[in-house]
Amino acid sequence: MYEYSSFDHEFIAERVTQFRAQVARRLDGSLTEDEFKPLRLMNGLYLQLHAYMLRVAIPYGTLNSRQMRQLAMIAERWDKGYGHFTTRQNIQFNWPKLEDVPSILQALADVEMHAIQTSGNTVRNVTADHFAGAAADELADPRPIAELIRQWSTDHPEFQFLPRKFKIAVTGSPNDRAVTRAHDIGLRMIVQDGLRGFEVIVGGGLGRTPMIGKTLSPFVPLDDLLPYLEAVVSTYNLLGRRDNKYKARIKMTTHEHGIEEIKQRVEAQFAKIKPRFAGADLQLLKDIEQHFAPPKFKPLIAQVEADSAPAQTPVFRAWLDTNITAHKAPGYAIVSVSLKKPGATPGDASAAQMRALAKIARNFGHDELRISHEQNVILPHVHRADLPQVFQALRQADLAAANIGLVSDIIACPGMDYCALATARSIPVAQQIATRFQALKLEHDIGPLKLKISGCINACGHHHVGHIGILGLEKAGVESYQITLGGDATTEAEIGTRAGPGFGADEILPAIERLLLGYLKLRLDRHESFLEAYRRLGLVPFKALLYPQTRKAA
């Protein structure tokens, strides 16, 4: 993985020093809150409902064991012993004290991490396919490009005050696991006539006005990518609205001006700035690529392959069925570690669990870990012969939930348990649903399902692209939950359709239960997933399951 250059180290160290002085000036009264707030936000420090929250970037979701151990140390020393992994491949600490934050940033800098541009109207943490560098279906590892974009966008002088925040996601696989169509820019790697490049998608996004991104260019050769991206962001910087924050994202700019006008402007800007890059970006990319050389994979050992071993227990087999994905190297597997044990808070890991994951990655995973936008942890390179030991180690750390891609593998934002913007809670809803379906023992029967919960219209929980989405709102002074159906975060991305009126906090679990038990009767057979059945039948029969009283009244 990428190792900081001396420039990177100096830059981060300087920012820590600056922030230490800024915090001291705030505490001694030299800075007012109005003066200090933009400075703390530039360093990822928010003030939430009950405490400060520090959002730390995990670029393209990649961590090594040393970094994971350091996150555990920070959680124990300066927080309450856990961290929360988010849908943007960040980690959030929910309880830091203001005076401790400079020391936390120093501890992060010590392991080549930071919290810069995890807030504000800047290019945010660049996200990527969490199976990058490992997936069997991948054309090439997208992380060198993601790292190039990180370096280009970090402290980019032109892009520190964009009209609004700007999110970029990259995938190197035809099967989109990075939700590229719901980002300000989504990049999908394509090989055309032997030449590597990217489809550039713009104007996707969830939130108040969800939109699926549009293709700005079907193919930008790798050599042109960075100047092309600069042309896009530069065009947006000038054209994007600053008079109304709800109309400021590039999705609205694209909607208001039309994709053709944006394309013309971007191409004119690209022609102007391309010569200035003079190949420096490509030289840098070449250097970065060295850091992402694949690990030295061990050979396939047929006799000890885990999935042919005779002494498998049913729990191990169940885990293999749900938590393992095909790897590009023979004899290897990608392990998804669920942070969704039913009843637990989605995306949370204790310091002890982080250390356990670090140890497993070091011993069995070529020292690599990933954080997925689905709030799980990935061990991207595990030899199949090591799977039984990995499973045992995960069980000891209470990390062996066999539920990846099932109903209890729920994305949930922190909601009103933590977030100052939230309009309702998300976490208890996720806990109730996961616990209930575990008790019913129906998860495997229901099969693949993406259930996503947001505690406000900003949609950090990606509810619009959940097969079932739940949006928590306030209605007449109480929490109310709207259900959307038929959303899809993959290559065929789609925004879900609102099913009808919201449900009270005590009605949402029974509603989801009616919906899923009803689906079991509606589907053609057990091979037809919830989303497939919804696409075949449309909203009406599912709506009838959610609102049985309305049906009776009619």
3-state helix vs strand vs coil in the chain, percent to 5: 45, 20, 35
Q: Binding residue for another protein (CB under 8 A) from 428, 455, 466, 496? A: 428
- Specify the 3-state DSSP secondary structure of 453: strand
Is position 141 an interface residue for another protein (rule: CB under 8 A)? no
Longest dimension (CA), the chain: 71
For residue 99, the minimal CB distance to another protein (Å) is 6
Burial class (CB in 10 A: 0-12, 13-18, 19+), 96: buried
Is position 80 an interface residue for another protein (rule: CB under 8 A)? yes
For residue 50, the minimal CB distance to another protein (Å) is 5
Is position 49 an interface residue for another protein (rule: CB under 8 A)? yes
Is position 109 an interface residue for another protein (rule: CB under 8 A)? no
For residue 67, the minimal CB distance to another protein (Å) is 24
Is position 26 an interface residue for another protein (rule: CB under 8 A)? yes
Is 48 in contact with 55 (CB distance < 8 Å)? no
Looking at 43-51, 203-211, 309-317, 496-504, which segment touches another protein (CB under 8 A)?
A: 43-51
DSSP code at position 205: B
Q: Binding residue for another protein (CB under 8 A) from 62, 127, 180, 431? A: 431
In sequence order, what are the residues at sequence separation of 6 or more whose Cβ sits closer than 8 angstroms to the Cβ of residue 431?
342, 343, 344, 345
Complex with another protein: residue 129 or 479, whichever CB lies closer: 479
For residue 314, the minimal CB distance to another protein (Å) is 30
Looking at 47-55, 355-363, 452-460, 481-489, which segment touches another protein (CB under 8 A)?
A: 47-55
- Specify the 3-state DSSP secondary structure of 77: helix
- Specify the 3-state DSSP secondary structure of 538: coil
Q: Binding residue for another protein (CB under 8 A) from 21, 38, 97, 501? A: 97
Is position 326 an interface residue for another protein (rule: CB under 8 A)? no
Is position 40 an interface residue for another protein (rule: CB under 8 A)? no
- Specify the 3-state DSSP secondary structure of 435: helix
Complex with another protein: residue 48 or 312, whichever CB lies closer: 48
Give residues 333-392 in contact with another protein (rule: CB under 8 A): 345
148: enclosing H helix or E strand: helix 143-153
Q: Binding residue for another protein (CB under 8 A) from 6, 7, 33, 525? A: 33
Q: Per-residue contact track with another protein, 402 to 421, x per CB under 8 A? A: --------------xxx---
Complex with another protein: residue 333 or 412, whichever CB lies closer: 412
For residue 342, the minimal CB distance to another protein (Å) is 13
Complex with another protein: residue 2 or 418, whichever CB lies closer: 418
Is position 314 an interface residue for another protein (rule: CB under 8 A)? no
Burial class (CB in 10 A: 0-12, 13-18, 19+), 170: buried
Q: Are strands 503-504 and 478-485 parallel, antiparallel or unpaired?
A: antiparallel
The dihedral built from the CA positions of residue 255, 260, 264 and 266, taken in this order, carries a sign that is: positive
d(CA 338, CA 438) in angstroms, rounded, equals 14
In sequence order, what are the residues at sequence separation of 6 or more whose Cβ sits closer than 8 angstroms to the Cβ of residue 17?
none
Closest-CA residue to 404 (of 172, 130, 216): 130
Is position 32 an interface residue for another protein (rule: CB under 8 A)? yes
Is position 317 an interface residue for another protein (rule: CB under 8 A)? no
For residue 20, the minimal CB distance to another protein (Å) is 15
Burial 24-61 (b: 16+ CB within 10 A, else e): eebeeeebeeeebeebbbbbbbbebeebbbbbbbbbbb
Neighbours of 13 (CB within 10 A): 14
Looking at 27-35, 124-132, 485-493, 507-515, which segment touches another protein (CB under 8 A)?
A: 27-35
For residue 403, the minimal CB distance to another protein (Å) is 18
Is position 43 an interface residue for another protein (rule: CB under 8 A)? no
Is position 302 an interface residue for another protein (rule: CB under 8 A)? no
Complex with another protein: residue 237 or 435, whichever CB lies closer: 435
- Number of residues lying near another protein (CB under 8 A): 30
In sequence order, what are the residues at sequence separation of 6 or more whose Cβ sits closer than 8 angstroms to the Cβ of residue 229?
149, 152, 168, 185, 200
Give residues 437-476 in contact with another protein (rule: CB under 8 A): 474
Is position 397 an interface residue for another protein (rule: CB under 8 A)? no
Complex with another protein: residue 29 or 299, whichever CB lies closer: 29
Angle at 492 between CA 520 and CA 466, to 5 degrees: 50
For residue 417, the minimal CB distance to another protein (Å) is 4
293, amino acid identity: A
Is 128 in contact with 140 (CB distance < 8 Å)? no
Complex with another protein: residue 32 or 244, whichever CB lies closer: 32
What number of CA atoms fall less than 13 Å from residue 188's CA on the CB side?
24
Complex with another protein: residue 51 or 111, whichever CB lies closer: 51
Instruction: Give the CA dihedral 341, 347, 353, 356, nearest 10 degrees.
Output: 100
Is position 27 an interface residue for another protein (rule: CB under 8 A)? yes
Is 162 in contact with 236 (CB distance < 8 Å)? yes
Is position 480 an interface residue for another protein (rule: CB under 8 A)? no
For residue 52, the minimal CB distance to another protein (Å) is 4
The torsion angles phi and psi of 549, rounded to 5 degrees, stand at: -65, -40
Is position 29 an interface residue for another protein (rule: CB under 8 A)? yes
d(CA 209, CA 146) in angstroms, rounded, equals 27
Complex with another protein: residue 32 or 303, whichever CB lies closer: 32
Complex with another protein: residue 217 or 454, whichever CB lies closer: 454
What number of CA atoms fall less than 13 Å from residue 19's CA on the CB side?
28
Binding residues for another protein, rule: CB under 8 A, are 26-29, 32-33, 47-52, 80, 94-95, 97-99, 345, 416-418, 425, 427-428, 431, 474, 477-479
